[in-house]
Structure 1
């Protein structure tokens, strides 16, 4: 039964059907062909959406859309430029830091690229950087977004793997900082080797203070969000709602750049993005039910545990699996399909659920940079108006710090587990 399911799924994907359609259609055909109860289709699809953590997904999407609509990303970019100064490769370093700051709002790599990509690439190419380099660092820096809280993939993983969403979000903070550090080191090395341009900005204390004053309300957004999670005052859903309310307040009352038309457009974009995500969630739930009925998770668990009982070796094996899966499957679909299969086995082998969650998501976010289904590649191709093959060539050097980050997070559990254990004990 599982082989038929996977075969139909693969065929529909090759024929060009969307991921959600492939998941749902293959599941429906197998259910009908094997005489399983058809009402399971509706039951499982609806039950998958009956999840409190998933309520945070549309709210975080809306918050990011509102902040982007009011133009705060430009203020943040200018402030970080002034603070970094005129070092070699400064604008590339600024791109990484701004991605880290904006990741505290967006929760998604594609949202980071949509909000910041054009600004980052235009700034770098305007100062003489090669366009493929600018595209590459923009994509690589966007990987920080789904690791640093809030993170839509982490929230979805938590709901599938029965892990605390709050703890898993907090677990992403140090790995995100680690990725930022490795990317900045890589840019510093490239800047020295290839004599990258210095920034043209003229920093002064007065200019920094002035821009910091303008940017302060926007910079408070990630502070409010992360502070709410760390304090225990809010769960992911509540803090997402508070972030939306705060974005509306500063948009109308502080910056006064938010209009009712912009709010309407943000709501429309949120509905479209949320519908796409939740369609995948619901159809993947039916797909996973068919696999579970055929005892695929149990068989996969037995296979993994038969290969090794060492947690690090098992993580490496899962990493190899996810690297392949990430090349051909959209990240959220991959989480929904693969996590229920491998997570129980790795938990039984002693892999910490928080570490596994971060490794899982980070691996699949690297998949956004790899063809043929690397959505970040196509997003930057559109934003930068350059062919995909040129974008791929630009991103290749930055796979080194990303894979290094993945290896360190896989080898050292404390990087993911120390902070949530410290704050939530």
Structure 2
């Protein structure tokens, strides 16, 4: 009955469109009252959930992404990508994927990627003769891929929810899957472009190439500072994020100089809005997760999944299916916080490393971002492309297939995820 009250009240509140963070808190309070728990203990759990040094990296990552996005980094990354692969047939679609790969290494946000890169490339692709549903599909699928490319604040959220898994190991673990997904999407876009006879990209003037490459690499060096500092052990994740933010500030306002310094107020406001949501979710999920552990929900779920089949492969497939289904109806950050305490013990029981499971989870949930009915990136891309979600969802079918193939590789080839963390000693 107590588990039913906790889960049932949470789902009921969601059905009435109560914000997720408030739903977590209210369901925890109702369950706490039913169990006779001192409510001060729940508040202490909420505060304790935020008392983590690694969480300090999130504000810096978000701020760095906002600064670079506002300062025109997306346009420069698009230009850099165009220099590299724009001359191929369907080159503008491949530029879209490569630009999202680059941008993911700076912002770590699929929505920010779709908004910035998509607002430039979707109209450009439509103007050059690409179908609208194809342009949007390429944009949103590649934006979801960008979530895997480090640095990613979602991996920091998972690290916290999983009890302190190495952020550096998660960053390195997500790199190869992210690049593989990007490569797979580029191959797919080229095949479709050849089949539909989409145009080749415009040739960049030779005298402009050095400037384009230089400006693009300056922006990408933000990610190099963050990832390199963590992998080398010279900085913690928080210190690397802070230094990367300082570098982004200098490049944007003193090198690019596309925007006045007065825009910093707008950037800070957007950063605070994002952080308020993220940190409120973390606090709310801490009390909810504590009650889940208290009521032994993880062990119940583990026993239930194992009872379906003792085969490890079947159990992993069930985990993947559960995460994909949850990703269709809920956003990534709250799902990481809610599902990790439940499914991580199950995954570890079948021999999965916490880093492997974390990368697998984030990949599953990134697919959920572009899947109806509640895929936030799908909605943003459809709005930018001015096309219905139904048409985009139909056009996304080959992209879903490519993403699922990469997902299965990640799920059943652990070495593909764990290779780089082992090489760099994370």
Q: TM-score, normalised by structure 2?
A: 0.96
Unaligned runs of 5+ in 1: none
The answer to whether the Cα contact below 8 Å between 1:369 and 1:376 also exists between their aligned partners in 2 is: yes
Aligned to 1:299: 300
Aligned to 2:136: 135
Aligned to 2:181: 179
Residues 15-59 of structure 1, C-alpha deviations (whole Å, 9 max, x = no match):
111111111111111212332211123111111111122111111
Residues 224-258 of structure 1, C-alpha deviations (whole Å, 9 max, x = no match):
22221221112221111111100111122211224
CA–CA distance in structure 1, aligned partners of residues 381 and 412 of structure 2: 31
Say yes or no: does 1:75 pair with 2:76.
yes
Residues 246-298 of structure 1, C-alpha deviations (whole Å, 9 max, x = no match):
01111222112242321111111010001111111111111112221111112
Say yes or no: does 1:233 pair with 2:234.
yes
Deviates more, 1:251-260 or 1:374-383: 251-260
Say yes or no: does 1:277 pair with 2:278.
yes
Aligned to 2:341: 340
Say yes or no: does 1:382 pair with 2:404.
no
Aligned to 1:331: 332
The Cα shift of 1:206 comes to 2.9
The answer to whether the Cα contact below 8 Å between 1:109 and 1:142 also exists between their aligned partners in 2 is: yes
CA–CA distance in structure 1, aligned partners of residues 311 and 183 of structure 2: 29
The Cα shift of 1:405 comes to 0.7
Partner SS for 1:153: helix
Q: How does 1:92-171 map to 2 (within 5 A)?
A: 92-162=93-163, 163-171=165-173
CA–CA distance in structure 2, aligned partners of residues 30 and 43 of structure 1: 16
Aligned to 2:191: 189
The answer to whether the Cα contact below 8 Å between 2:86 and 2:92 also exists between their aligned partners in 1 is: no
CA–CA distance in structure 2, aligned partners of residues 225 and 290 of structure 1: 35
The answer to whether the Cα contact below 8 Å between 2:133 and 2:392 also exists between their aligned partners in 1 is: yes
Residues 342-383 of structure 1, C-alpha deviations (whole Å, 9 max, x = no match):
112321321122111111110011011112221111122332
CA–CA distance in structure 2, aligned partners of residues 227 and 359 of structure 1: 23
Aligned to 2:258: 257
Aligned to 1:35: 36
Residues 192-228 of structure 1, C-alpha deviations (whole Å, 9 max, x = no match):
21112221x1235433223113333213222222221
The Cα shift of 1:127 comes to 0.6
Partner SS for 1:144: helix
Deviates more, 1:223-232 or 1:17-26: 223-232
CA RMSD of aligned residues (A): 1.6
CA–CA distance in structure 2, aligned partners of residues 117 and 133 of structure 1: 12
CA–CA distance in structure 2, aligned partners of residues 321 and 85 of structure 1: 39
Say yes or no: does 1:221 pair with 2:222.
yes
Residues 131/245 of structure 1: CA separation in 2 closer, same or farther (3 Å cut): same
Q: What is the count of residue pairs matched by the alignment?
A: 424
Aligned to 1:393: 394
The Cα shift of 1:129 comes to 0.6
Residues 287/348 of structure 1: CA separation in 2 closer, same or farther (3 Å cut): same
Aligned to 2:267: 266
The answer to whether the Cα contact below 8 Å between 1:139 and 1:395 also exists between their aligned partners in 2 is: no
Q: TM-score, normalised by structure 1?
A: 0.96
The Cα shift of 1:413 comes to 0.5
Partner SS for 1:39: helix
The answer to whether the Cα contact below 8 Å between 2:101 and 2:182 also exists between their aligned partners in 1 is: yes
Residues 40-94 of structure 1, C-alpha deviations (whole Å, 9 max, x = no match):
2311111111112211111111101101111121122112112213221100000
Deviates more, 1:390-399 or 1:276-285: 390-399
The answer to whether the Cα contact below 8 Å between 2:32 and 2:39 also exists between their aligned partners in 1 is: yes
